Structure 1
Amino acid sequence: MSIEIIIGLPHLCEGPLLFRARALQQPVLISANCLSIWSTRRGWREWTGWKLHHLANAHSLHSLVLDSAGYAAMSVYGGFPWTVDSYVALAAAFPFRWWASLDYCVEQGVARDREEVIDRLSRTIRANRDCRQRAADLGITDTLMPVIQGRLPEDYERCIDALWGMMKPGAIIGVGSMCRREIDGPEGLIAVIDHLDRVLPKGVRLHAFGVKGPAIPYLLPFAHRIASLDSQAYAVSARREAHQRRISKSDQLVADHMEHWLHTQRARLSESARQLPVRAPAMPDPSPSDPWEAAIAQARSEIRALIESGDLDHDELTAPWIEQWAADIYRDRRAA
């Protein structure tokens, strides 16, 4: 089996970049964010819908896939500006090859500590289930790609266990929070892929979001597990050249870098596979011994379970609420 390279495009506007993508006849990935409509009519910037007319430009592409823009949503907007219903409606508006579930990324710049990482795993689990339910209503479950999240390799297993019904042979599963990882190390890209290869059912394959080209030779031993990867890294080299030459970073320049980048990735797929030593998994944090910290931990666990079950919404996990919930637990323990 071979790993497919998917080109990330920043937009679907007619011009040199889209023209080149058509000529290359390579699968293309776009972010939902690039189709967003924003308005300042009420005095602040707010999301108001989708530029669905841009999708007409994609019909002559090899194929088109849709990402939920999870990292941009969290790092730029502090959360998804659009609802599950509006996002799934976008997914139903075009014959996408596949479309990724909403997910809550856990990169260092977004999830500040271990507790927030685990909170966001629960939100990701619920978002996957909600997307699947809405997809069933619209008849597009066949093209839905579940997305799993994690910081440690074992974190992804929490998502897999909760979404086990979606882990069927032939399924493609998106692996989030990958593009800013080191290749090596106990939390590195290869450690994550190696762990997933061990725990996923046979026949389930992966799409690795945002993986940079130098990692490809190290991914080749897992070609039986990795179906595809995407990147928009060519934009960085285009920006660097524009800065060095003191010229505009035009779409024509970016298109040239995109084509060169694609040829480079294809060449890397032909290299000899490289392997890294498998690191021992990180040990889980011990349970807190302090009664108040233990109450906080229990409160978080109970709220996460309610989010995953659908009894609470994705974003109903706030510090004041956790503390109030923990206070009730603390008092009950003291009274017992």
Structure 2
Amino acid sequence: MERIMNKCSVKPHSIDVMVGLPHLAVGALLRRARELQQPVLVSANALSRWSRKRGWREWAGWTTWPLANARSLHSLSLDSAGFSAMVTYGSYPWTVDDYVRLAAAFPFRWWASLDYCVEQEVAGDRDEVLDRMSRTIRANIECRLRAEDAGIDATFMPVIQGRHPGDYERCAEALAHMIERTGLVGVGSMCRRPVHGADGLIAVVDRLDQILPRRTRLHLFGVKGDAIPYLTAFAHRVASIDSQAYGVSARNAARRCGQPKTDRMVADHMALWLCRQHARLDRPSRRLPMQPEMPPQPEPADPWERAIAQARREIRDLIETGDLDHDEMTARWVEQWAADIFSETPAD
């Protein structure tokens, strides 16, 4: 392992590879991250405390003492754990205020806004994608306001969401005033996205490269290593990527060998993974032919379906402006809203 580490390129690159750590406990994994001197990303979920006092698993606040172990790292940033929260709990167990308190508990290099991911596992149809984009916009605004109150707005990173490149553009436009101030924006729902295609990772980055202010750079969450040769063509725009993919390879190796997945084994896999990512960054850039984006869905022909679509648009607008709470969109409420619109619509 030491021989491999010595051969691994550790020179600075224009795109930072951030190492996602599953925890900050003292041990082989944290020690190796310190030795590698790479920027580290930790999830809010890794700092969560849970209780079963009432007979079920319930979020009980933050465990912040491990943050003291991170002071010797190259740098530490904070992710809101959006995908894990949505898949595991159905929503965030913590509030915006809770999350901002965690962000204020350590001098993070940056901390990401709460956001609502749109992967197929959590957003099965187009309406759900659009709903979650609106909730993301509002969550960014609320996080920014709380950050200003807490005096940590200088390290706040907005996060945009979408399924198509145009979705990310709309999200960025809604948060333009915020993005212009920060100079760094996170791009969510990347980890399960293909590299190629009209809705692929490179198509999203290319669209954002065209529409964002020149000085604005991107952090791409959970990017696969095979995307790196294509991303280096956008090194002027992409500041950093992160992944914890090495944990999967460590788990598979432990299963094959019939051994426990120890921190030392995970640390070795992390070092090898990082070496591979740096090697990819050193390769010549590759470019993909851009494919046309899917055209927007036409307006429904049926008057009732048109009323439903309009009701959803109006409710999303109110969520983004803060006049409705994030979670105040239910199927029954949409139908009631649509019924009012339908009753006021002149007959064709």
TM-score (norm 2): 0.95
Contact conserved, 1:37 with 1:48, CA < 8 A, in 2? yes
Letter in 2 for 1:258: M
Residue 72 of structure 2 is aligned to residue 43 of structure 1: no
Q: Please report how far the alpha carbon of residue 170 of structure 1 lies from its aligned counterpart in structure 2 after TM superposition.
A: 6.2
The aligned residue for residue 187 of structure 2 is: 175
Deviations 1:45-82 (A, max 9, x none): 11110001111111111110000000011111000000
Structure 1 segments unaligned to the other structure (5+ residues): none
The aligned residue for residue 109 of structure 2 is: 97
The match for 2:336 among 312, 316, 324 is: 324
The aligned residue for residue 5 of structure 2 is: none
The match for 2:158 among 146, 150, 156 is: 146
The aligned residue for residue 260 of structure 2 is: 248
Letter in 2 for 1:142: A
User: CA–CA distance in 2 between the matches of 1:296 and 1:42?
Assistant: 40
Letter in 1 for 2:232: L
User: CA–CA distance in 1 between the matches of 2:263 and 2:216?
Assistant: 37
User: CA–CA distance in 2 between the matches of 1:39 and 1:158?
Assistant: 39
Q: Please report how far the alpha carbon of residue 167 of structure 1 lies from its aligned counterpart in structure 2 after TM superposition.
A: 2.3
Letter in 2 for 1:293: E
The aligned residue for residue 148 of structure 2 is: 136
The aligned residue for residue 163 of structure 1 is: 175
Structure 2 segments unaligned to the other structure (5+ residues): 1-12
CA root-mean-square deviation? 1.2
Residue 284 of structure 2 is aligned to residue 272 of structure 1: yes
User: CA–CA distance in 2 between the matches of 1:288 and 1:137?
Assistant: 44
Instruction: Using the aligned pairs only, state the percent identity.
Output: 65
Contact conserved, 2:250 with 2:261, CA < 8 A, in 1? yes
Contact conserved, 1:146 with 1:173, CA < 8 A, in 2? yes
Residue 223 of structure 2 is aligned to residue 211 of structure 1: yes
The aligned residue for residue 326 of structure 2 is: 314
User: CA–CA distance in 1 between the matches of 2:320 and 2:192?
Assistant: 27
User: CA–CA distance in 1 between the matches of 2:27 and 2:179?
Assistant: 39
The aligned residue for residue 86 of structure 1 is: 98
User: CA–CA distance in 2 between the matches of 1:180 and 1:198?
Assistant: 23
SS of 2:240's partner is strand
The aligned residue for residue 5 of structure 1 is: 17
Moved over 3 A (4+): none
The match for 1:289 among 301, 304, 307 is: 301
Alignment length (residue pairs): 336
Residue 148 of structure 2 is aligned to residue 125 of structure 1: no
Q: Please report how far the alpha carbon of residue 169 of structure 1 lies from its aligned counterpart in structure 2 after TM superposition.
A: 7.0
User: CA–CA distance in 1 between the matches of 2:328 and 2:289?
Assistant: 41
